Amino acid sequence: MSEIRKILEDSTTGARPVSGDLLPLIYDELRSLAARKLSKEGSYQTLQPTALVHETWLRLGGDESQDWNDRGHFFRTAAQAMRRILVDRARKKAALKRGGEESDLDISKMDLAAVSQEERLLMVDEVLERLELEHPERAVVVSLKFFGGLTNTEIAAVQGVTRRTVDRHWAYAKAWLFQTISDEHLD
């Protein structure tokens, strides 16, 4: 852990390129998180953990030097990159099912019981965008958990808060997301 911290600190001072040094240290952890996340996606998800990690790394800048404030900053950014990758793939799959036209998904017109896994992912992403505006700290917990595959304990460590704080943020966010999605379908 101290080697990762040193590399991250060096990235902010411009002492040396961080990407080549950081990837070997965090690759296994990122792959484990990706595998955990994808295992929850079900059989519809054809993306492999290794491919998700590689695409995430490319979106994070690949060989370009990046400034990471700390471990939490890196994993929050990685979770957001994974989110974008999964959402982009879900949009493409949903568009193919609708005849190839990519369009915005109107969750208020969807029957929750009949939606595909891709549409559920897009629904969560849409509602999460609203949560980010109203409760950004809770949205970070959802993003790290849902898209980054971290546990509450891992989120607490990454965020530098207590597990209890993460548990509260997660409980609130789950209820808020459920209520928001439900409200869209009751109108």
Angstrom distance (rounded) from CA 119 to CA 111:
11
**Residue 133 clears pLDDT 90, i.e. is over it:** yes
φ/ψ region of 102 (left if φ > 0, alpha if ψ in -120 to 50, else beta) reads beta
CB 83 within 8 A of CB 125: yes
| pLDDT tens, position by position, 2-55 | 565 565 555 555 555 455 666 676 777 778 777 777 776 655 566 788 888 888
Q: Are 116 and 129 in contact (CB under 8 A)?
A: no
pLDDT per position as a tens digit, 134-164: 999 999 999 888 888 889 998 999 889 999 9
Task: Name the pTM for this structure.
Answer: 0.61
Confidence class of residue 169 from pLDDT cuts 50, 70 and 90? Answer: very high
pLDDT tens by residue, 75-119: 888 888 888 888 888 888 877 766 655 555 454 444 545 567 777
Domain boundaries, the chain: 2-186
Rounded to a whole number of angstroms, the CA Rg of the chain reads: 18
Buried b (16+ CB within 10 A) or exposed e, 75-112: bbbbbbbbbebbbebbbebbeeeeeeeeeebebeebee
Q: 65 CB contacts (<8 Å, ≥6 apart)?
A: 11, 14, 17, 18, 19
